Amino acid sequence: MNKQQLAAKIWESANRMRGKVDASEYKDFILGFIFYKYLSEKEEQFFLGEGMTAADMEQLVEEDEETVGYAQNHLGYFISYQNLFSTWIQAGNDFAVSQVYEALSAFSRLVSPLYKNVFDGIFITLQTGLSKLGDNTGSQTKAVRDLVHLIQTIPMSTHQDYDVLG
């Protein structure tokens, strides 16, 4: 994906949110989800690099204190399998906005104490703003699902000649 294609995706995502939130708030949603996707993919790549298989990833749960601690020591945070961005995509129509609330809450809870100053409150604006995306959970879920599926196509790898988050 080149810079123009990335800009087109971001513009499309902003257009989908038009009328739901003020234009000044688009960035809070778009950048929040892009950054969450980045962190999710970084964790997946980390565990795959450590010898886990895609099937093993399903065992990434908050209750596994050893794995949580290992991730926190190496990444500064832990995201359980059910809260990974890729899991949201796989859920398809079974995806619900409540999963985002749960994931962002869990992320805040599972940041390493050594990295609290880096990640503390990073998703607060996104989390508190989700209710603006619709009058009920159904419309909020549809808006978030559409946004997540658009952001899914944005590459987080370093194979481009530009910084996606930048």
> Model's pTM, two decimal places?
0.84
pLDDT mean values, one per 10 residues, the chain (166 residues) = 63 61 70 92 96 94 96 97 96 93 96 94 89 87 87 66 47
**What pLDDT is stored for residue 151 in this prediction?**
83
Torsion sign over Cα 116, 127, 57, 35: negative
Bridge partners of 18, per DSSP, are 21
Rounded Cα–Cα distance for residues 58 and 115 (Å):
25
Domains (range + CATH), the chain: 3-152 (1.20.1260.30)
